[in-house]
Amino acid sequence: MDITIGELVTRKSYNHDLLFRVAAIKNDIAIIYGADLRLEADAPMDDLVIANGREISKRREKEIKKEEFSYRLFRQDYQLMKEKRNYQSTDGYLNEGRFFQLPAKVLHMDGDQLYLRKCIALYQRMGLQVQGIHVNEKEMPDEIGSLVERIQPDIIVITGHDSYSKNKGMKNDLHAYRHSKYFAETVREARRINPNLDQLVIFAGACQSHFESLIRAGANFASSPLRVNIHALDPVYIAAKIAYTPFMESVSVWDALRNTLTGDKGMGGVETRGLLRTGMPYLDEEDDMDE
């Protein structure tokens, strides 16, 4: 059976461990993207097998359960943060004056349009203000400057696909990674505009990305310390934790990673101040996350 672009496939050589989407085909070599993980790989066409409907449904059902579990954990965390903010903003409920909040604005740059749509849906479910832009990873360094000037974000997510190839060099060699150098250049360009880690919070990276170079370039959070795959939605949870934490409080790295699907094997970072500002008197009804 012929395999076409957009088909969902697995790899025989990896014992069908992951589900991939065929992104391009050239000279009997397919470029494949992880269906749920931010991984890009090359594979010979004869190594690929088209996933059947039952297998796709089974994998998708398992994935949805993981995603919903992570979202429920974040909802619990969010409710605790909200109750604490309300208590502090009303002077321990003694002051009945109502308050308003200025939410953080997110710029999400993604090399994958399907992942971007999935992330936007989660941002909206969480009640976050986001501007999503689909940009090829190699073009991100050239695009970031004008986007930052136009959108004026508080949080930037720079992600897409990546992978490490041991055939191209050691793990400390940036050239052995598919897109890590472009992510790092994009972070540096953003930091030229705003070097303050607490005024502009940046997440950068994808599956197996060169964590150290992204942090050195100026990212607050990045992937992947142990060069493992990260989930497509993980950057959203990092952004949401920062966005809903009051700016008078700092977020530990563990707290930022706690509700992600990958955890500290796939992501790390530095202690960062929250970005939510509270004011009085009350201006407008607060947008809240959907139940």
pLDDT computed for residue 156 by the predictor:
98
Q: What is the pLDDT of residues 107-134, one digit of tens each?
A: 999 999 999 999 999 999 888 999 999 9
* Confidence (pLDDT) at 277: 87
Condensed to tens digits (0 to 9), the pLDDT of residues 158-191 reads 999 999 999 999 999 999 999 999 999 999 999 9
Contacts of 60 (CB under 8 A, 6+ apart): none
Res. 89 pLDDT band, cuts 50 70 90: low
**Model confidence band, residue 100 (pLDDT cutoffs 50, 70, 90):** confident
Which of 119, 143, 139, 115 lies closest to 131, judged by CA? 119
Please give the average per-residue pLDDT across 96-116, as a whole number. 86
Query: pLDDT-based confidence at 215, cuts 50/70/90?
Result: very high
What is the mean predicted confidence (pLDDT) over 181-202?
97
Residue found by looking up tokens 């700092």 in the block: 250
Q: How confident is the model at residue 200, as a pLDDT?
A: 97
All structural domains of the chain with their residue ranges: 8-51, 67-279
Q: What is the pLDDT of residues 14-38, one digit of tens each?
A: 999 889 999 999 988 999 998 888 8
> pLDDT tens digits, residue range 51-86?
988 888 888 888 888 888 888 888 887 777 777 666
Q: Among residues 45, 103, 92, which one has the least CA distance to residue 288?
A: 103
Q: What is the C-alpha separation between 138 and 154, in angstroms, rounded?
A: 23
Q: Is the pLDDT of residue 265 over 80?
A: yes
- Indicate the fold that domain 67-279 takes in CATH: Rossmann fold (3.40.50)
Pairing of strands 100-102, 277-279: antiparallel
Phi, psi (rounded to 5 degrees) for 259: -95, 5
pLDDT for res 109 = 98
pLDDT at 2: 84
Our measurement of the distance from residue 84's CA atom to the centroid of its chain's CA atoms, rounded to an integer in Å, reads: 26
CA distance 267 to 212: 11
Per DSSP, what are the bridge partners of residue 20? 9, 34
Beta bridge partners of 164: 177
pLDDT score, position 72: 83
Is 97's pLDDT higher than 70? no
Task: Kindly tell me if the per-residue pLDDT of 285 is higher than 60.
Answer: no
